[in-house]
Homo-oligomer: A and B are copies of this chain.
Amino acid sequence: MNQIEIMTPGKIIVGCGCSSRWIEEAIKAEYKKIVVLSVGPIWPMIEAQLSEAAEKGLKIKKLDYTLVGEPTTAYFEELRKEAAAAKPDAVLGVGGGSVLDIAKLLAALSDRKTPIEKCFGKGMLEERKIGLFCAPTTAGTGSEVSPNAILLDSADGEKKGIISPFLLPDCTLVDADLTMSLPSKITAETGMDALCHCVEALMNKNAHPIIDTAALKGIELICKNLVKACRDGRNRPAREALATASMLGGLCLGPVNTCGVHALSYGLAGKYHLSHGLANALLLPEVMRFNRPVCLARYSLIARVLGMQVGKDNERNANMAIDYISQLSVQCGIPQHLSEIGIKATDIPEMADMAMNVTRLLQNNPREITREDVINIYENIY
């Protein structure tokens, strides 16, 4: 076994109704001023807890996240100014992956002048002096438990990662009640994103038995509950299962991370500003097919946790797993072809160039991916 490092938030609280528990943590830590970053439809859901916090003596500064699409470096700098003016003791992010990524960066950087562009890469943040709480409102990115934040660089339009232990929250609140009103489309796309985190950790060159365990549980929970939650958003057990799975997928990101799917998805999303989950969902089955020759035993593990009749023929088991995941995507109403969502075939070479730049993820892929392979994959799902 290779050595791995597992770093998680100081505390992870899981369970319906837990999202207000950052208040007791903030009081225990003797914080006085909290910047709360959230977004339009979420504010009414957390109004009661913000009032409770104010009653208990916490000063709350609300910061409204209004950007549509993936977060950019330019938008981060705007928010940083606002957050810095409040001089908070802690930041609370309540939202999807974009909101949480920005909240994490605000906690690490709002009291500093370092330009955000200097922080790209691994281990470039120096410290984090103020507290950080995260509560996800989608079940997808796993940002609530990962040391990663992803931004679109406003300078060149490419998606870039900032990876640092200082981006791990002090306390994460996984409360499926916050996800109950998510529309079916977003439920599907974010759920497929979480599935990618799990599958990519499992087929990863740096896969590790401990992380496999989390990944396989995540895969099981998503495959058994995603269609249910897409069809009936009020299905609370399904929502709980997905919130848990998303957290498990997030736990895969730090020690192992993603590989081919996310790399190629950055090519797509960088050029077309698709939602991150949709881009990943489109690519997952095809990248699984590309990796199949070197992943037969791994995919058989997926077939097994899905309760399929696995036999000794790993090729057959692997195909069953790929088919299942491919069908899951269809049943959730996700488009299956790039042409369906307005992507131009003539852009494929440029998208491939962008994907080939994501070397930090490509190098995790269990099978080497050349530029030609990338083009083939995009064309196969065109």
Residues of A within 8 A of B (CB): 1-8, 10-18, 165, 208-210, 213-214, 217, 240, 244, 247-248
Partner of A17, one of B3, B10, B11: B3
| Set B5, B210, B214, B247: member contacting A244, Cβ < 8 A | B210
Least distance between A368 CB and chain B CB atoms (Å): 25
Please measure, in the bound complex, the distance between the C-alpha atom of A4 and the C-alpha atom of B172, giving whole angstroms: 12
Could you tell me if A213 and B213 are in contact, using CB atoms closer than 8 angstroms? Answer: yes
Q: Write the nearest CB–CB distance from A317 to chain B, whole angstroms.
A: 15
Whether the Cβ atoms of B1 and A5 lie closer than 8 Å is no
Interface SS, A side: mixed
Do A6 and B12 have beta carbons less than 8 Å apart? yes
Min distance, Cβ A341 to any Cβ of chain B, angstroms = 35
Could you tell me the distance in whole angstroms from the C-beta of A375 to the nearest C-beta in chain B? 37
B2 touches A6 (CB 8 A): no
CB distance from A126 to the nearest CB of B (A): 11
Q: How far apart are A301's CB and chain B's nearest CB, in angstroms?
A: 12
Can you list 28 contacts pairing A with B, beta carbon distance less than 8 Å? A1-B15, A1-B16, A1-B240, A2-B15, A3-B13, A3-B15, A3-B16, A3-B17, A4-B13, A4-B14, A5-B12, A5-B13, A5-B14, A6-B12, A6-B14, A7-B10, A7-B12, A10-B10, A11-B165, A14-B208, A14-B210, A209-B217, A210-B217, A210-B244, A210-B247, A213-B214, A213-B217, A213-B248
